[in-house]
Amino acid sequence: MVVSDSPNGGSTPPPPQQEQANKDRFTKPISIAGPTEADLNRNTELEKFLVDSGLYECNEEAASREEVLRRLDQIVKSWVKQLTRQRGYTDQMVEDANAVIFTFGSYRLGVHGPGVDIDTLCIGPSYVNREQDFFIILHNILAEMEEVTELQPVPDAHVPVMKFKFQGISIDLLYASISILVVPEDLDISDGSVLYDVDEQTVRSLNGCRVADQILKLVPNVEHFRTTLRCLKFWAKRRGVYSNVTGFLGGVNWAILVARVCQLYPNAIPSMLVSRFFRVYSQWRWPNPVMLCPIEENELHLPIWDPRRNHRDRYHLMPIITPAYPCMNSSYNVSTSTLRVMMEQFCYGNKICDEIELNKSQWSALFQPYVFFEAYKNYLQVDIIALDADDLLLWRGWVESRLRQLTLKIERDTSGMLQCHPYPHEYADTSKPCAHSAFFMGLQRKEGVRGQEGQQFDIRGTVDEFRREIIMYVYWKPGMEIYVSHVRRKQLPAFVFPDGYKRTRMPRHINHAAEKMGDDTTKCNSGSSSSERSVKRKKNPEMMDVKPDKPEKRISVSPQRLECVSPESCTSKLGGTPQMSIECIEGVRLDGSTTNDTDNNCEIKSSDGLSGSGTIIDVGDMQINETSFVDSTHDRLKSRALEVQNENGVNEDKARDMTFVCLERAETISTKSLPNWEEGAVGIDQQLDKACNFTRAECSDYAPIASTQNLNCETDVRLGSV
């Protein structure tokens, strides 16, 4: 069985005599300085924090994982022999028939923690295929085993995978059929011959193992790399930017980013590497690629990342290139909005690390969870329901894999003016009788751009297009439904807050930022020299300027909520597919009502009824025109008003501590000859590839959270539920 070679799940560290040239030939280090006494002390504190945070698995769990891998290896070997016999091969061929299991991802790199899944790859002979043999025959074998639960095939994924739990341990199993009749037990996965005469899906499946091994060969110190990567993955999960499927970064992306910093600071210890990580990437000039070694070309002529030749590669926003042939961009999922969010978080990490180095803060401050439901005033809520838990497992996996497309479509249809922050965490309302899951996206206007008078964001067509794509799911069953609705922060459902906690007022830093913006605006417009006076003027209703052409301030009905009495009551007939009716949704007020918006200290009146109710909401300095109605045919709420607010922060420039001369020379080597490609920065007027069908924003948009530059504007966002 070919699995991990070391007790902690990673490959054996490369020997000292390995190709040192591979490490040094790409770029020279930024610094070869070693740790000081203070660095050593901070490193001890960091390692203690990681242990106390439960990031290391116990010996019993490690033994359980090894046993699961051994059993899985036996299953695939028996499966291949069975297929060989059924296809009439000789007894000798049946005896020699073999399949091997490799691990990759965090387990292969040796940075896995308790409870995480094991990424595995099954390599079989040429006559055992993926479509029939793997996804049907092996799937049925696993489905009949008591040890296997939550079996979920995903054959249409970019890298086809079968997900399941084996004795309670999560497994992601890929399959690769290579062009040989007998797979040797000691197969060398790094040998380029395994790539001969295979399809692209097989190449992508093989690449996971090949990339993991190559990363370990290219870092100066494997143990320092592992500790740093374990730390940064934990940070990314706490800050909500760890998810390849939603457009952020996954395990291999973070591994390559950390490995690059290890190359730039070869003698640094983990506490130094974590700090340098944020210092480097808070200043990185995307879309300059991050590469661990030069891009290799081969006589196999497989597609590689090359923006000089491949038109679409020019528009990748955050290229992170895999080090094994064929070199690919592992972060093609990143969108304008998700890159903006990650740059904000890199700046946040850089600021905290500076405070730690000045003994003004502790490591725990770096890992404070991101308070997503206080960061925005407006959200999209994507509710996913099914008749039972098994159906929900399949349905949710499909919808989650397509949520990134909703972000891209909103960026495209609003020309990048409406920015999305998809949150990779899943929520569920356990009080509902029907199986339920929900995802959320934060919404705000593009940073630094003022809206025009009466400008509207009508994304009803965008949401409807997304829905049409979602319902094309080949395994769709009655009861599988999806609903997209707009909710304001004060209307968020209780199940997204731990222990029932729900904040009803804006965070203090946002209020302060808004007050400061009010000061600046008053000074600019009236020439007042007293900021305190302008703040008081805003808060004193008797002193506020009254605009006679403004209609009475009202708000439409509260957003939809799932309120199912039974799974059957959650569905109705719509175009041949079940759908939730208005009667199943809580929080919809049909009568006129008045509520106090405690979040913005103003009174909001709802309209009398649903159909054709036009409203204007006045929140702080921002006014939003809102129109809502119910489609009589679909019986669904068709419009929502979004009030968009950015958040403000401080962008620390750490260029004094480092120089990127060597980086700019090396990282842009493959992009210098690109037309319209500015060295070191994204061109503001750079045109999109029309085939990509989404809108780019400028790289300079990545200002930290809490800006209030766009408050003095009118905007209208219309959203239809699906």
Q: Share the mean pLDDT of the chain.
A: 73
Q: What is the pLDDT of residue 9?
A: 41
- Give per-residue pLDDT as tens, 279-316: 999 999 999 999 999 998 887 888 899 999 999 999 99
Please say if the pLDDT value at position 494 is more than 50: yes
Q: Is the pLDDT confidence value at 77 over 90?
A: yes
Q: What percent of the chain is modeled with pLDDT above 70?
A: 64
Q: What is the pLDDT of residue 452?
A: 62
pLDDT in tens, 449-483: 776 655 668 889 999 999 999 999 988 999 999 99
Evaluate whether the domain defined by 372-449+456-496 bears CATH number 3.40.50.150.
Answer: no
Fill in the DSSP letter of residue 61: H
The residues annotated as belonging to the active site are 106, 117, 119, 172, 233, 242
Neighbours of 431 (CB within 10 A): 11
Sign of CA dihedral 47, 48, 49, 50: positive
Mean pLDDT, residues 98-116 taken together = 94
Instruction: Please give the single-letter amino acid code of residue 600.
Output: N
Handedness of CA 345, 347, 351, 356 (dihedral sign): positive
Q: Tokens for 416, please give them.
A: 């990048």
State the virtual CA torsion across 300, 305, 308, 313 in degrees, nearest 10: 140
Are 268 and 221 spatial neighbours (Cβ–Cβ below 8 Å)? no
Where are the CATH 3.30.460.10 domain residues in the chain? 59-215
CA separation, residue 101 to residues 8, 150, 211, 572 (Å): 17, 21, 16, 46
| Statement: residue 176 has pLDDT above 80 | yes
Phi and psi angles of residue 554, each rounded to the nearest 5 degrees, phi first: -140, 165
Residue 457's pLDDT is what?
Answer: 81
CATH class of 28-54+257-365: mainly alpha
Contact 340, 697 (CB under 8 A): yes
Rounded Cα gap, residues 517 and 278, in angstroms: 29
Which residue pairs, CB below 8 angstroms and at least 24 apart, start in 176-179? 176/121, 176/122, 176/123, 176/124, 176/202, 176/205, 176/206, 177/123, 177/124, 177/125, 177/126, 177/127, 177/128, 177/129, 177/130, 177/202, 178/123, 178/124, 178/125, 178/126, 178/202, 178/206, 179/126
Give me the mean pLDDT over the 95-124 stretch. Answer: 94
pLDDT (mean) for 232-250: 95
| pTM summary value | 0.69
Residue 184 neighbours by CB under 8 Å, 6+ apart: 98
244-258 pLDDT, tens digit per residue, is: 989 999 999 999 999
> Is 388 within 8 Å of 396 (Cβ atoms)?
no
pLDDT digits (tens, 9 = 90+) for 12-70: 444 444 444 444 446 789 999 999 999 999 999 999 999 999 999 999 999 999 999 99
Tell me what pLDDT residue 650 has: 37
Angle between the 336-357 and 270-281 helix axes, to the nearest 10 degrees?
140
Confidence of residue 688 (pLDDT cuts 50, 70, 90): very low
Say what the alpha-carbon torsion angle 487, 490, 493, 497 is, to the nearest 10 degrees.
130
| Residues 398-401: contacts with CB under 8 Å, at least 24 apart | 398/470, 398/473, 398/475, 399/439, 399/470, 399/482, 400/245, 400/246, 400/426, 400/439, 401/154, 401/157, 401/245
pLDDT tens column, 570-629: 433 333 333 332 223 232 222 333 333 333 333 222 222 322 323 222 222 333 233 332
> What residue ranges of the chain are covered by domains with CATH 1.10.1410.10?
28-54+257-365
CATH number of 59-215: 3.30.460.10
- Output the CA angle 296-298-303, nearest 5 degrees: 80
Residues 506-553 pLDDT 10s = 444 443 333 333 343 333 333 333 333 333 334 444 333 334 444 443
Name every residue whose Cβ is closer than 8 Å to that of residue 556 and which is 6 or more positions away in sequence: 606, 607, 610, 613, 615, 626, 627, 628, 640, 641
Looking at residue 389, what DSSP letter applies? H
Strands 455-458 and 714-718: parallel
CATH 3.30.70.590 residue spans of the chain: 372-449+456-496
Kindly state the tokens that stand for 243: 């998810």
Q: What is the pLDDT of residues 218-230, one digit of tens each?
A: 999 999 999 999 9
Bridge partners (DSSP) of residue 103 are 120
Averaged pLDDT for residues 395-399: 91
Give dist(CA 115, CA 121) in Å, integer. Answer: 19
Give 143's pLDDT tier (boundaries 50, 70, 90). very high
pLDDT the model gives residue 685: 28
Q: How far apart are CA 220 and CA 54, in angstroms?
A: 27
Q: Report which of 574, 604, 599, 609 is spatially closest to residue 721, judged by C-alpha positions.
A: 574
Cα 340 to its chain centre, rounded Å, is 12
The token pair that represents 585 in the structure block: 């949704």
